[in-house]
């Protein structure tokens, strides 16, 4: 620690140098994980970093919620309102059409439901729900600073953030592929966006959800790319991984509700 006087010597104003303790740790695959504590310093240069890194990026601020996480929750709340409007329109349309259908005549909803391949839809849903679990395993790895696996690829207990997020990405991509296959099958049966009010409501609700899933897949790619490009895995990257999981869990919950309403309740 050093002290240097500045300004008027009679006032004896000093600037004290930072007192810093840096612990350098390695996660799997030689990824550097920053564990830096400081009593005064606003920045630190952990091993592997080119420039000093702000403490908020290394460790966060104790007792203060992360602004990125709060912003994500606010955005997801606004997105929830969008899906709530879709559900309201769906139920309103259903009540009007079903209520106006003569007794003994097949309703538009019954006609639409007869086109669904339920075993296929259930399997696709299970894949998406399980991807939420693998995503959370990745978050757990990020919170303990494990970027990559620390053992064999076949030993899932040693997996890190990357392996769990790659698996989650693959499962999400399978879900999108399954949804595209279902759309193609329905279209071949005359179940298209412009067929009737029911098909329009179906494609509007499931299509917007599919776009959200694609957005989640892009978020996973960005997160994974960041872990490979960064020299040091920081608190800031861990927060990025966590907020990505928030979005993915949100997408999964919305689909479970959509599946229950469209495929089960009909």
Range of the domain at 45: 3-58
Structure tokens at 93: 């349309």
Q: Are residues 144 and 190 in the same domain?
A: yes
Q: What digits encode the pLDDT tens for the residues 185-244?
A: 999 999 999 888 899 999 999 999 999 999 999 999 999 998 888 777 777 888 889 999
Residue 97, number of CB atoms within 10 A of its CB? 16
Q: Are residues 72 and 34 in the same domain?
A: no
The model's confidence at residue 45, banded by pLDDT at 50, 70 and 90, is: low
Structure tokens at 65: 């919620």
Q: What digits encode the pLDDT tens for the residues 231-266?
A: 777 778 888 899 999 999 999 999 999 999 999 886
Mean pLDDT, the chain, whole residue set:
80
What is the predicted pLDDT for the residue at 185?
95
User: Does the structure show a pLDDT above 90 at 94?
Assistant: no
Nearest to 30 by CA among 159, 139, 147, 137: 147
Considering Cα of 144, then 150, then 153, then 155, what sign does the dihedral take?
Answer: negative
Nearest to 256 by CA among 202, 209, 195: 209
User: Does the structure show a pLDDT above 60 at 29?
Assistant: no
Q: Are residues 14 and 73 in the same domain?
A: no
Q: Are residues 214 and 131 in the same domain?
A: yes
Q: Are residues 243 and 162 in the same domain?
A: yes
Number of domains in the chain: 2
Assign residue 80 the CATH number of its domain. 1.20.120.80
Per DSSP, 25 falls in state E
Q: Are residues 52 and 101 in the same domain?
A: no
Q: Are residues 147 and 216 in the same domain?
A: yes
Q: What digits encode the pLDDT tens for the residues 131-158?
A: 999 999 999 999 888 888 888 888 898 9
Yes or no: say if 251 and 213 are a contact pair by the CB < 8 Å rule.
Answer: yes
Q: Are residues 30 and 134 in the same domain?
A: no
What is the predicted pLDDT for the residue at 243?
93
CA dist., res. 170 & res. 125, Å (int): 14
Q: What digits encode the pLDDT tens for the residues 108-132?
A: 888 888 899 999 999 999 999 999 9
Q: Are residues 124 and 32 in the same domain?
A: no
Q: Are residues 179 and 53 in the same domain?
A: no
Output phi, psi for 21, to 5 deg: -125, 125
Mean pLDDT over 103-112 rounds to 81
Considering Cα of 121, then 175, then 243, then 74, what sign does the dihedral take?
Answer: negative
CA dist., res. 194 & res. 88, Å (int): 20
Which is more confident, 157 or 16?
157
User: Does the structure show a pLDDT above 50 at 38?
Assistant: no
């Amino acid at each position: 620690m050093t002290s240097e006087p500045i300004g008027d010597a009679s006032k004896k104003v000093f600037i004290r140098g930072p007192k810093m303790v840096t612990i350098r740790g390695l996660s799997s695959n030689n990824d550097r994980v920053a564990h830096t504590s400081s009593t005064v310093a606003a920045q630190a240069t952990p091993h592997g970093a080119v420039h000093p890194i702000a403490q908020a990026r290394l460790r966060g601020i104790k007792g203060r919620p992360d602004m990125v996480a709060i912003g994500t929750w606010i955005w997801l709340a606004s997105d929830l309102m969008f899906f709530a409007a879709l559900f309201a329109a769906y139920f309103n349309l259903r009540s009007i059409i079903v209520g106006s259908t003569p007794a003994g005549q097949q309703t538009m909803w019954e006609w639409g439901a007869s086109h669904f391949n339920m075993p296929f839809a259930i399997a696709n849903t299970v894949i998406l729900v399980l991807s939420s679990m693998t995503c959370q395993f990745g978050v757990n790895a990020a919170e303990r600073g494990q970027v990559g696996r620390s053992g064999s690829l076949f030993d899932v207990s040693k997996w890190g953030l990357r392996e769990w997020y790659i698996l989650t990405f693959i499962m999400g991509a399978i879900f999108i592929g399954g949804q595209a296959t279902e759309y193609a099958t329905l279209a071949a049966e005359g179940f298209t966006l412009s067929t009737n009010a029911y098909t329009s409501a179906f494609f509007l609700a499931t299509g917007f959800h599919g776009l959200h899933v694609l957005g989640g897949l892009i978020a996973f790619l960005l997160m994974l790319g960041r872990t490979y490009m960064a020299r040091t895995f920081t608190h800031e990257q861990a927060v990025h991984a966590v907020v990505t999981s928030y979005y993915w869990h949100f997408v999964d919950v919305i689909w479970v509700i959509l599946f229950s309403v469209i495929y089960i309740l009909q």
